[in-house]
Amino acid sequence: MKDKLSKRELLTFASGDLFGGGAQIIINFYFLVFLTDVVKIRPILAGIIILTSEIWDAISDPLMGILTDRTRTRWGRRRPYFFAGFFGILAAFFLIWYPISNESEMVRFFYMLFAYTLYTTVSTMVMVPYSAMSSEISTDYKERTKVNGMRLVFSQASSLICAVVPIEIVKAFANQNTGYMVMALAFAFFFAIPFLLIFRFTQERVPMEEKSNVKIKFADFIKPLKVRSFRSLVLIYLFAFLAMDIVSVIFAYYMNYYLVRPSELNYVLGALLITQLILVPAVIKASYRIEKSGVVRYSVVIWLGAILLMSMLQPDWPSWSIYLNAVFMGFGIVGCVVMPWVMFPDVTDIGELAFGSRNAGSFSGLMTFTRKSSSALGMFLVSTILEFAGYIKPETIIEDGATKTIYMEQPDSFMFAIKIIIFVIPFILLLITWIQAKRYPLTRANSEKVVQYLEYQRGNTDVNPISQEELDTIKEAVI
């Protein structure tokens, strides 16, 4: 019998998602604006930076999954990468927020392309093994759900901090360039330190198989997609997060130019994220009472209602209506954000059942790629639409030693584009998410039976808990 998780180990491991949740929020909300308004490169070039990194991720994320599955060290398969990731995060996160000011736009472009590609590579090196270990830090169904639920509490708390604090740090300095560098350094340590603690104070509880000498083949990259349950989960994850990322990327423009309330951006985001943070425990409890895919479906319906309400908001409406809508949207987003990673360990069990070995890293690599894809596609789509909609960059002036941003009046084509991006596109994506959640084949009952059967296969129990006929039925449904 494997030892139970201590509270210290649970909290230590969960703290790793300070990076997973927080860094992505900073990227989604502020990176495109940073590229267009601070580094001052055209939106289409910003989109190329994001798209190029995504092409690299298509290779690096699945490859990292295979590499971590085949790693064999005294510290396990996953933990060595956390030690290396500490140093990588410190360097890479600072570099992507360095406000390079070369006169040549192409020099600025190529610097940001290098820095962002380095950042996504470091993120891959850390988050793929971290996500894989979330299914291996315990073999107990409820304990794993608790671990991943706690991860997402840290993730949502970090999202709240990272939606509000970074820009406040920037504004605290008269020179915004200095502000961005201080912000980057502070959050680099905030994200990196937990991985040193995870390396030191956690352990993997699923035994490692003997080292494989088989050469890596292209088929290994997509092997997890042979599992029906995993394909379904990936589609839920992709479309839900693509909807969220598109809203995140455009939201600053929506507040600045559509509602004309740039000073309230942080507070509206705060209302949205505080709501999500408060509701995470309730969502986890709901997943015990109803199917996890059911939580996703109910969440999508609430989110769709919030989008409809947001489409009615007008610039002259009172502030409370904007905050009320943000809270309403938080009720919908939280289930879609929390559930995919709560469902992930269950799907890796099905992978072990299907392939006869534990390849959680390969599954994690594709999940990580899916997450990055949604973010990259969201930023690329928004940046491309803004380019062709005639977006006019703000002007920067220095007055009494302080840097001030002057927002320009935008053409009607730009205002129309904002409405399409923030209302129509997410609505379509969420309808697809609901359909995929409805089709999700893995039930809680089957998942618990598979966990028991795998424990028998690993030699941890002496009695086979399910009959061959029942096992075949489960395989037919979920693989």
Per DSSP, the residues of 170-196 read HHTSSSHHHHHHHHHHHHHHHHHHHHH
Residues 91-100: what's their mean pLDDT?
A: 96
The 10 Å CB-count burial string (b at 16+, else e) for 373-400 is: bbbbbbbbbbbbbbbebebeebeeeeee
Give the angle 407-412-414 at the CA atoms, nearest 5°.
60
Check residue 50 and give its pLDDT: 85
Distances (CA, A) of 460 to 205, 291, 376, 455: 12, 28, 43, 5
Query: Does the structure show a pLDDT above 50 at 69?
Result: yes
Residues 213-235: what's their mean pLDDT?
A: 82
Check residue 426 and give its pLDDT: 93
Residues 320-349: what's their mean pLDDT?
A: 92
- Yes or no: say if 205 and 98 are a contact pair by the CB < 8 Å rule: no
Assigned domain for 478 exists: no
- Yes or no: say if 360 and 351 are a contact pair by the CB < 8 Å rule: yes
β-bridge mates for residue 396, sequence order: 405
User: In sequence order, which residues have a C-beta less than 8 Å from that of residue 371 and are 6 or more positions away?
Assistant: 24, 237, 241
Q: What is the mean pLDDT of the chain?
A: 88
Query: Does the structure show a pLDDT above 60 at 213?
Result: no
Query: Does the structure show a pLDDT above 80 at 206?
Result: no
Assigned domain for 94 exists: yes
User: In sequence order, which residues have a C-beta less than 8 Å from that of residue 259 and are 6 or more positions away?
Assistant: 313, 315, 322
Assigned domain for 80 exists: yes
More confident residue, 140 or 463: 463
- Yes or no: say if 350 and 450 are a contact pair by the CB < 8 Å rule: yes
Check residue 201 and give its pLDDT: 92
Check residue 120 and give its pLDDT: 93
* pTM confidence score: 0.77
Nearest CA to 23 out of 125, 105, 92, 106 is that of 92
- Yes or no: say if 212 and 70 are a contact pair by the CB < 8 Å rule: yes
376 confidence band (pLDDT: 50, 70, 90): confident
Check residue 1 and give its pLDDT: 44
Check residue 393 and give its pLDDT: 75
Please report, rounded to a whole number, the percentage of residues in the chain having pLDDT higher than 70: 95
Assigned domain for 458 exists: no
Assigned domain for 380 exists: yes
Assigned domain for 409 exists: yes
pLDDT, tens digit, for every residue of 390-408?
888 777 777 766 666 777 7
Count: domains in the chain: 1
Give the angle 465-471-476 at the CA atoms, nearest 5°.
160
Query: Does the structure show a pLDDT above 70 at 78?
Result: yes
Helix, coil or strand: residue 403: strand
Helix, coil or strand: residue 304: helix
- Yes or no: say if 52 and 117 are a contact pair by the CB < 8 Å rule: yes
**Residue 196 is encoded by which pair of tokens?**
């040193």
169 confidence band (pLDDT: 50, 70, 90): very high
The 10 Å CB-count burial string (b at 16+, else e) for 154-182 is: bbbbbbbbbbbbbbebbeebeebbebbbe
Query: Does the structure show a pLDDT above 80 at 2?
Result: no
Calpha distance 96→109 (Å, rounded):
12
Assigned domain for 192 exists: yes
For position 242, which CATH number holds? 1.20.1250.20
Residues 234-252: what's their mean pLDDT?
A: 90
Assigned domain for 44 exists: yes
More confident residue, 293 or 207: 293
Helix locations, 356-398, DSSP H? 360-388
Residue numbers of the domain that contains 36:
7-200+221-442
pLDDT, tens digit, for every residue of 16-28?
999 988 998 898 8
Calpha distance 349→352 (Å, rounded):
5
Distances (CA, A) of 346 to 171, 209, 233: 44, 20, 10
124 confidence band (pLDDT: 50, 70, 90): very high
Helix, coil or strand: residue 273: helix
- Yes or no: say if 255 and 268 are a contact pair by the CB < 8 Å rule: yes
pLDDT, tens digit, for every residue of 279-326?
988 998 898 888 999 999 999 999 999 999 988 888 889 989 999 999
Query: Does the structure show a pLDDT above 60 at 232?
Result: yes
Calpha distance 199→126 (Å, rounded):
11
Check residue 216 and give its pLDDT: 66
Calpha distance 153→426 (Å, rounded):
25
Q: Where are the beta strands (DSSP E) in 204-355?
A: none
Check residue 365 and give its pLDDT: 86
The counts of H helices and E strands in the chain are 18, 2
